[in-house]
């Protein structure tokens, strides 16, 4: 799911290195028809799904006489394929809330679920983890940080004795492209600047989240659900080289870390082959060339999104509201609407305005998500109107 994005492209690269081990059964994308033509002709999946009927029709026409791939349209087709009995593993790499329903379908069907979609756990953690347990799914985190935690934690990180042996999880952050900038400097940031990550090649939405440090807030919530931890048991540490992907501090004084070059093919390959390891096409880490590893505390004054997430995770439904408001705000910023420093303001207003119970079903999650998105859209609209009024006054 999300075959044409950065995670999807990296996944296809790993799969292409092991044709004797893996067969691509189905791929999904939003509206990137040209990219899907290339994927379908190269990998010959049995099915492809586009987000809308127009894109699906264009893809099917382009593949006529070239590929036997059958093309469908819409979220229901994605949900059906994720639960298909012939599917063993599902890479959940659709960005945003829209990836929740297909990922839930894979969890309920007991698949090996390679989770690269943060929002599934952030917005619907209780619902999602219940689906994983009830369906008997194998949930393997693909975010580089959570994959690192998974590798460094005991074999059964949720076993009581193992939970007690871990003192703290250290979640690393690169600091993004604006590490060290003041709040005043951030007011003039452009979308292209925010998407120019110094270490990772990512999609535009997640790149902005990294630049605001919201990505670490989302990952904090994700780690809490994945490993049954409280927010106080997870510490965010800025590590600009992005060589150490996360660390586990044990009660005996030991600290285990997973290191590697910043390349998503490493966690993808580990998720696909676990408990084995396969070639991912990633260059070996040369510590002499790296030279030094630096660490510092995050600046939540200049980048308040992390602080907002740390607060929201303690409030019923708070992360669902935060996630929805963030998606709306980031979308507006990328479209040239609100300023970079308005993103956290939109989120804070929505968190203050919306109170809710913790969602206990997919329907409840979708309702709360809708409320938060509407509220965020209103806040964005008011900000843009004020900007227009000031411009007219000049």
Whether 180 has a binding-site annotation, put simply, is no
CA distances from 287 to 237, 261, 290 (A): 20, 10, 5
CA distances from 36 to 58, 77, 203 (A): 11, 16, 17
Whether 188 has a binding-site annotation, put simply, is no
Whether 366 has a binding-site annotation, put simply, is no
Whether 254 has a binding-site annotation, put simply, is no
Whether 145 has a binding-site annotation, put simply, is yes
Whether 111 has a binding-site annotation, put simply, is no
Whether 118 has a binding-site annotation, put simply, is yes
Closest-CA residue to 33 (of 14, 48, 45): 48
Whether 174 has a binding-site annotation, put simply, is yes
Whether 67 has a binding-site annotation, put simply, is no
Whether 119 has a binding-site annotation, put simply, is yes
List the binding residues for 1-deoxy-D-xylulose 5-phosphate. Answer: 118, 144-145, 174, 197, 210, 215-216, 219
List the binding residues for Mn(2+). Answer: 143, 145, 219
List the binding residues for NADPH. Answer: 4-7, 117, 119, 203
List the binding residues. Answer: 4-7, 117-119, 143-145, 174, 197, 203, 210, 215-216, 219
């Amino acid at each position: 799911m999300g075959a044409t994005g950065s995670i999807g492209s990296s996944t296809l690269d790993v799969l292409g290195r092991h044709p004797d081990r893996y067969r691509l059964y189905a791929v999904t994308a939003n509206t990137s028809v040209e990219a899907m033509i290339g994927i379908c002709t190269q990998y010959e999946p049995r099915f492809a799904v586009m987000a809308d009927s127009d894109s699906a029709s264009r893809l099917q026409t382009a593949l006529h006489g070239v590929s036997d791939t059958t093309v469908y349209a819409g979220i229901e087709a994605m949900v059906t394929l994720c639960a298909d009995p012939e599917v063993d593993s599902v890479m959940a790499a659709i960005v945003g809330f829209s990836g929740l329903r297909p990922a839930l379908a894979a969890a309920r069907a007991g698949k090996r679920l390679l989770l690269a979609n943060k929002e599934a756990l952030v917005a619907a953690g209780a619902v999602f983890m219940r689906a994983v347990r009830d369906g008997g799914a194998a949930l393997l985190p693909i975010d580089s940080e959570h994959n690192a935690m998974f590798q460094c934690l005991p074999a059964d990180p949720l076993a009581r004795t193992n939970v007690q042996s871990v003192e703290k999880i250290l979640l690393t952050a690169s600091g993004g492209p604006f590490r060290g900038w003041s709040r005043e400097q951030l007011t003039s940031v452009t979308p292209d600047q925010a998407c120019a990550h110094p270490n990772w090649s990512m999609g535009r939405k997640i790149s902005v989240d990294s630049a605001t440090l919201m990505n670490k807030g989302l990952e904090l919530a994700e780690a809490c659900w994945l490993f049954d931890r409280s927010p106080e048991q997870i510490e965010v540490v800025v590590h600009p080289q992005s060589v150490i992907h996360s660390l586990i501090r044990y009660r005996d004084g030991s600290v285990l870390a997973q290191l590697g070059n910043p390349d998503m093919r490493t966690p993808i390959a580990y998720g696909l082959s676990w408990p084995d390891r396969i070639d991912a096409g990633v260059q070996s880490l040369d510590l002499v060339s790296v030279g030094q590893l630096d660490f510092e505390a995050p600046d939540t004054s200049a980048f308040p999104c992390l602080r907002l997430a740390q607060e929201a995770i303690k409030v019923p439904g708070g992360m669902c509201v935060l996630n929805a408001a963030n998606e709306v705000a980031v979308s507006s910023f990328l479209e040239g609407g609100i300023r970079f420093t308005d993103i956290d303001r939109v989120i804070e207003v929505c968190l203050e305005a919306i109170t809710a119970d913790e969602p206990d079903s997919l329907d409840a999650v979708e309702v709360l998500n809708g409320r938060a998105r509407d509220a965020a859209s209103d806040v964005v609209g008011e900000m843009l109107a004020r900007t227009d009024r000031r411009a007219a006054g000049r």
